Structures are given as C-alpha cells and as structure tokens.
Amino acid sequence: MQMKTGVEQSVYAILILSMLPDKAVLPGEAISQQLGASPTYFQKLLRKLVSADLISSVPGVKGGFKLKKKPDEIRIYDIYVAIEGQQTLYSSCGVLHDMLDLTEEKSCCLLTALMEEAESSWKSVLKRETIASLYEEIKESYQPNMQLTEQWIQEKMVL
C-alpha cells in the first residue's frame, strides 16, 4: 500500500489553516505554492476537504479557505478518508481456493482476518492523532521553522 501524496499535502494544508486567526482565510493558490503542490491537483484536494466538512471555502476576491472544525476535532484519519475514501485495503481474490482446488463456495481467505487486524491497527493510530497534536509535535521539534511559517501565514492571509 502506498498512500497518495494528496493525503500528506492535505494534512499539512489543514495544519497551516489551523494557524490562522479567527475570521482569516488563506487562498488555495498560496497554500499549494507553500506545499509545492500542483495548483490544479491541489484544488481537487481542497474540494474533497470541503465536502468532508473539514474546511470551508469563502468565495470572492478576499476569499480562501479556513477550518470548519477545531484542530483537536480533526483526526488524521478524517483527512485520510476525505482524500482516499472508505474502501478497505485488502480484498481476497480467492487465491487459496484456486491453489487448493476447493469446490465449495468460496469462504473467507485465511489472510482476510490478518489483513483486517493490520488495517484496524493503523486506522486506530490515525484516529488517535489530531491536527492539534501534530501541531504541538511540530512546534516542539521545529520551533524556528514554525516561526517562519507563521510569518508566511501573516503575509498571505486575507481578513
């Protein structure tokens, strides 16, 4: 399994939006530039995040994006689902039945339970972490760089 870069870009876009003062917005173009993302692709990501009720879009010349929820209410898993969807990562194709030439109706593959447990484990980790907890970790580890990002936000935000 390899997650698309859209999940990573979306997490950090929401992290940036979490640093905005109330009533301020950031233009999508500015965020995509800061993250090194393709503007066209990034607009699609923003639409998915708006549809998932994680961020809101403010139209107009002074428009942009802002959080719709508090940072401690946005789980990393919520962002993953907004971008990747709800599908499971593993679905048995019946290889065991083919390999053993089983004639009865296909039952659960032996790998299914194992894969479901693994998927449940990583989902639980993503559900545990929020934008607020990620922000605190980054702030502690990268304080000088965070100050530069906060300065960039002050320059790019629209009130």
Confidence of residue 81 (pLDDT cuts 50, 70, 90): very high
Confidence of residue 13 (pLDDT cuts 50, 70, 90): very high
Sequence-ordered list of residues with C-beta below 8 angstroms from that of 79, at least 6 positions apart, any chain: 7, 10, 11, 14, 49, 52, 54
Residue range 66-75: mean pLDDT, rounded: 97
Instruction: Report the CATH number at residue 37.
Output: 1.10.10.10
- Domains of the chain: total: 1
pTM of the predicted model as reported, rounded to 2 decimal places: 0.85
User: Of all residues in the chain, what percent carry a pLDDT higher than 70?
Assistant: 90
Q: Residue 123: which domain range?
A: 5-156
Distance, in Å, from the CA atom of 11 to the CA atom of 8, rounded to the nearest integer, reads 5
CA atoms within 13 Å, Cβ hemisphere of 155: 9
Beta strands in 2-157 (DSSP E): 55-58, 64-67
Sequence-ordered list of residues with C-beta below 8 angstroms from that of 40, at least 6 positions apart, any chain: none
